[in-house]
Amino acid sequence: MSISDCYGKLSCLENNFCFGLQRKRIPEHKLLTISPYQKLITYHRIPWKFLLILLLVILITAQTIEYESLYSPYYSANEDLFAQIFLPGTKTYIETSNGLIQKYIYSVQELKDSIDNVVVNYYNFSRSSIGFYEFQYETDQTPTPPKFKVESYKNVKFDQPNPIDPSNYEIETITYDLTISKPLGPFSGDLDQSLDFMKKFKKGEITFYFKNLFPTEIPKCLLWKIVITYDYQIRGGSTRASILSDATDCQKVISSSSHYKSSYFLISLVLLISAIWLMGLSSHSLYNEYRLYKNTYQRVLGQKSLRLDSEHFASQRSFRMAFFNFWYLWNIPTCISVIIAELIYMFTHFSTAKINNLLFSITLGIAAFCCWFSLTGYFQWYQSFYSLINVISRALPKVIRFTLCALPIFLGYAYLGTIAFGSYVEYFSTIDQTCVTLFAVLNGDICRDTYDLIYRQNHGMAVLSRIYMYTFICLFIYAWVNVFITVGEEAYISIIKDPKPVNLKGKRQLKQYIKKSKDAPMRSDSILKSKETISRFFSREKSSFFWGDDQEKKTTSDVYLSQRYSRSYSVNNPSHLTPSANEITPLLKPPKGSAPIRTPLGPKKD
């Protein structure tokens, strides 16, 4: 079947869907501003992109709810189980600031007891746990022993001739198999021997695996990897013990034809096909908008009455961007995220591939976010529902400029806090922790707690902590945050005074150019010759995004240039030919006694 046949059948489908009404051709000058509703009612064309986005939102939401109700509680329950059995007494994610399930060990005997507890509970876990867990066996049908990977310094002793010799601090790595007969690895000796080894000990990781069946409509076999880390790199008389668990699908998955008839597989398949279809339609729409831009630009250059109308063509950037719909461009990464998430979902449930479930949860969350955010684009046709995006688009340039100005000051406070208070306050222990703490203070959270945490009885540190907090709050809450609020308020007030959507306002102005220039005579050679001249005229507005709106700051010489240029050609050049650079040059000469002006032809040559 050829492409034309497929398109003909699709057109017939649209005609039947639209109650037998004949599809109408949409005029060029209305392509930029027509809404999906007008497209359906006036021109009898089905808004496929809107329907596909709506379908993606519904199905991806159903899939997310299914994942949240089944898998999230299951993974959370297993993480709590492993923490309570193998590392009792740990703090939860909420109680720690670094996102780890952890506890601190302060003696060698406590460390040995912790390692022994891990090994004993590992070999008894399949018999003592109420869940269905199975060992990962070796070739001789014996459980694979936990692996204890130990990093230690080569030789650290005070009785050496040179105890701080760098050669004594070379790191060596040894892996031990922890069995019932030898459960402690390098700590198998008596207390004195263990204490001597502890002086050289840097870091140790105990790794072991369990298989577990998760019965759902499509039963899953999961391979859990549990890693218990004993970190003594910081020294200071305490070892941080943490546990991390992660699940991947077992390599052997029992598949049957019933799996491919399940609702999970059908939803995933429909999502995959819809995302591919939507990406094709969005790419085609972007291509059509690009063609419309090129055709209109050439027509404007070829028609003298539209060439340099400075009121509508204020800058090259706005002239180009008004032709393109941002939401069509946004649909492409949205579809890519959905395709990746569904491919991972299919490989996870319906193949023998081993895929990390964390990767699937991240891609599914990104896909759901992108799909829901895409719906915002269809509010642009209804002004009262699109106010948030209009406010953001108007305030964003000023917000970015002001943020770049304040960022060095914020980072200065972050580095000062880390160096000054990081040795005794966990909230300031790293640059990342300090930035998080300062951002929380900036938003009015934990202000009093931060004052108390960084205050020390040492007189110098007490004074520094007070000056640090007072100046930070004055600069960033009283000044920075209030400027942000003011910028947003000004943008919102401007939206109320001028309720037309920002993106549609420029598009509606361009309709006049598309409509007027449609029948303009074309001279390709003159168009090519004058493109560089016109581009230079508009190029002085390119930096308006970051450095302000040049249209509001237009100098007298700029106004003189545009007025004289357009007026001279409307009177003296009755033909429709685009002027060359040599023809424009005499018009750029300012009157006697006037200030020198910028020209689109470059600097004046002596």
Model confidence pLDDT, tens digit, residues 373-401: 988 888 887 777 888 888 888 888 899 99
Model confidence pLDDT, tens digit, residues 188-213: 888 888 888 888 888 999 999 998 88
Confidence of residue 586 (pLDDT cuts 50, 70, 90): very low
Model confidence pLDDT, tens digit, residues 313-350: 444 555 666 677 888 889 999 999 999 988 887 776 65
Q: What is the pLDDT at residue 252? A: 52
pTM of the model: 0.64
Q: What is the pLDDT at residue 58? A: 93
CA–CA dist 135, 147 (Å, integer): 14
Rounded to 10°, the helix 502-516/263-302 angle is: 50
Model confidence pLDDT, tens digit, residues 420-476: 998 888 889 889 999 999 999 988 888 888 888 888 767 888 899 999 999 999 999
Model confidence pLDDT, tens digit, residues 88-105: 887 655 455 555 678 888
Confidence of residue 162 (pLDDT cuts 50, 70, 90): low
Q: Which residue has the tokens 């020294």?
A: 235
One-letter amino acid at 7 equals Y
Q: CB neighbours of 524 closer than 8 A, spacing ≥ 6?
A: none
Residue 412 has pLDDT above 80, yes or no: yes
Stretch (H or E) spanning 172: strand 171-177
Stretch (H or E) spanning 50: helix 48-86
Residue 249 has a CB neighbour count (10 Å cut-off) of 21
How far apart, in Å, are the Cα atoms of 310 and each of 2, 148, 233, 537? 48, 73, 66, 10
Q: What is the pLDDT at residue 28? A: 66
CA–CA dist 222, 246 (Å, integer): 10
Question: Within 13 Å of residue 266, how many CA atoms lie on the same side as its CB?
Answer: 5
Check if the beta carbon of residue 296 is closer than 8 Å to that of residue 323.
Answer: yes
Model confidence pLDDT, tens digit, residues 489-533: 888 888 887 755 445 545 555 555 555 555 444 444 433 333 343
Long-range contacts of residues 45-49, Cβ cutoff 8 Å, at least 24 apart: 45/14, 45/18, 46/14, 46/17, 46/18, 48/277, 48/281, 49/278, 49/281, 49/282, 49/285, 49/328, 49/331
CA–CA dist 401, 413 (Å, integer): 20
Residue 273 has pLDDT above 80, yes or no: yes
Reduced 3-state DSSP string for 452-512: HHHCCCCHHHHHHHHHHHHHHHHHHHHHHHHHHHHHHHHHHHHHHHCCCCHHHHHHHHHHH
Q: Which residue has the tokens 């299951």?
A: 74
Check if the beta carbon of residue 547 is closer than 8 Å to that of residue 315.
Answer: no
CA–CA dist 112, 118 (Å, integer): 10
How far apart, in Å, are the Cα atoms of 264 and each of 97, 179, 269? 37, 42, 9
CA–CA dist 356, 348 (Å, integer): 9
Query: What's the token pair of residue 561?
Result: 């240039």
* Partners of residue 326 on adjacent β-strands: none
Residue 21 has pLDDT above 80, yes or no: no
Model confidence pLDDT, tens digit, residues 22-77: 667 777 667 677 778 778 888 788 888 889 999 999 999 988 888 777 777 888 88
How far apart, in Å, are the Cα atoms of 142 and each of 134, 139, 247, 589? 12, 7, 22, 94
CA–CA dist 579, 587 (Å, integer): 11
One-letter amino acid at 466 equals R
Give all domains of the chain, ordered by start, each with its CATH number: 1-46 (no CATH), 48-86+259-381 (no CATH), 91-249 (no CATH), 388-497 (1.10.287)
Buried b (16+ CB within 10 A) or exposed e, 226-247: bebbbbbeeeeeebbbbbbbeb
Let me know how long the chain is.
606
Q: What is the dihedral of CA 415, 421, 425, 431, to 10 degrees?
A: 10
